[in-house]
C-alpha cells in the first residue's frame, strides 16, 4: 500500500512510496495538469530529494489527462534573457529525470501535449492508455518548445515528424504514437497505472549498476562516433560485470536459480 513521501512539494504534485517505487502524480486535474513554474520547481525538488531505498519512479497524472503542457495563463512578456532563464528552469528539472539516480516510467493518458510531451520524453519507459493524444501546438501559438523537446523528441520520432507536428498542429493517437516510437507499451484505458507499476517493480529488481549504465551511458554512447562508442561500451561492460551483485546474479543463472525472463 502506498504511503506519502516526506518531500515538501506544491499542491500540484503528490508524492508517494510503494516499497522501492516512488510515485509522482501531477495533481492539477482542473487545469488538465498544465505545468506552471511552481510545479516544475517541485518536479526538480522531488527528483533531487528521493529517499534511500528508492529504485525506480512511476510518473502519472491525476484526472483525465497526463498533462496539457505549459500553463498559458502564466505566459507573460519576457525579454530574451528572461526567456532563456525560464527555459533553463525546465531543462534542469527534466534533466533530473533523464539523468537522475533511478529509472522513470511514465504513464500517459488523455492529453500529452506540448510541455507534457516534453516531460514524458524525459522518462525512460513510456506506457500509454488508448485515450492518449500527442501534439505540439506551439507553432499555432507563436511560441517554441522550451522543455528539451528539440533534443529528446527527434531521437524518438525523427526530425521530420516533429517538424510536421509543430508546423501543422498534427495530433497523434495512442496507436499512432506507439507505431512511431513515442511509447513502448500500449494498454486499455484504466490499465496504465497497473502496467507502469509492474514495469517499475521489474526495473527496481535489476542490479543498480546496470540501471545506471542504461540511464547514463547508453544515450551518450548512441550519440558518439562508433570507435568512441565501442570503447565506452567495453569500459561500462567491464565495470558492470565486476560488480558483486552482477557476479552473484550470474552464479544464480548458471546454477539455474535465477528467475525466468518475462514478457
State the catalytic residue, choosing from 38, 44, 118, 223.
118
Residue 77 CB: number of other CB atoms within 10 A?
Answer: 6
The span from the CA of 125 to the CA of 192, in Å, is 12
Q: Is 138 a catalytic residue?
A: yes
Going from the C-alpha of 179 to that of each of 110, 134, 174, the distances in angstroms are: 17, 13, 9
Q: Label residue 216 exposed, middle or buried (CB < 10 Å: 0-12, 13-18, 19+).
A: middle
Q: Order of strands across the sheet with 185-187?
A: 3-4, 13-18, 21-26, 56-61, 104-108, 125-129, 185-187
Q: Is 118 a catalytic residue?
A: yes
State the catalytic residue, choosing from 45, 138, 198, 233.
138
Which three cell numbers, joined as nine digits, stand for 110? 488523455
The span from the CA of 188 to the CA of 58, in Å, is 18
Strand partners, 59: 24, 106
Catalytic residue positions, numbered:
118, 138
Amino acid at each position: 500500500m502506498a504511503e506519502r513521501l516526506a518531500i515538501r512539494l506544491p499542491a500540484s504534485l503528490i508524492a508517494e512510496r510503494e516499497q522501492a517505487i516512488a510515485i509522482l502524480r501531477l495533481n492539477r486535474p482542473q487545469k488538465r495538469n498544465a505545468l506552471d513554474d511552481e510545479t516544475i520547481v517541485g518536479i526538480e525538488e522531488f527528483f533531487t530529494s528521493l529517499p534511500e531505498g528508492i529504485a525506480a519512479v512511476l510518473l502519472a497524472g491525476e484526472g483525465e489527462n497526463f498533462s496539457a503542457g505549459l500553463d498559458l495563463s502564466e505566459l507573460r512578456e519576457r525579454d530574451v534573457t528572461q526567456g532563456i532563464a525560464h527555459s533553463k528552469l525546465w531543462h534542469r528539472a527534466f534533466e533530473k529525470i533523464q539523468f537522475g539516480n533511478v529509472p522513470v516510467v511514465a504513464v500517459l493518458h488523455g492529453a500529452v501535449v506540448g510541455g507534457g510531451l516534453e516531460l514524458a520524453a524525459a522518462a525512460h519507459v513510456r506506457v500509454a492508455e488508448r485515450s492518449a493524444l500527442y501534439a505540439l501546438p506551439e507553432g499555432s501559438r507563436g511560441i517554441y518548445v522550451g522543455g528539451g523537446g528539440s533534443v529528446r523528441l527527434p531521437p524518438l520520432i525523427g526530425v521530420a515528424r516533429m517538424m510536421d507536428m509543430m508546423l501543422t498542429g498534427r495530433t497523434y493517437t495512442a496507436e499512432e504514437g506507439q507505431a512511431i516510437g513515442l511509447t513502448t507499451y500500449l494498454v486499455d484505458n484504466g490499465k496504465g497505472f497497473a502496467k507502469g507499476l509492474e514495469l517499475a517493480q521489474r526495473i527496481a529488481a535489476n542490479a543498480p549498476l546496470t540501471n545506471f549504465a542504461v540511464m547514463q551511458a547508453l544515450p551518450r554512447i548512441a550519440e558518439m562516433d562508433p570507435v568512441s562508442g565501442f570503447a565506452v561500451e567495453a569500459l561500462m561492460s567491464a565495470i558492470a560485470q565486476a560488480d558483486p551483485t552482477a557476479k552473484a546474479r550470474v552464479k544464480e543463472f548458471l546454477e539455474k536459480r535465477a528467475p525466468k525472463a518475462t514478457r
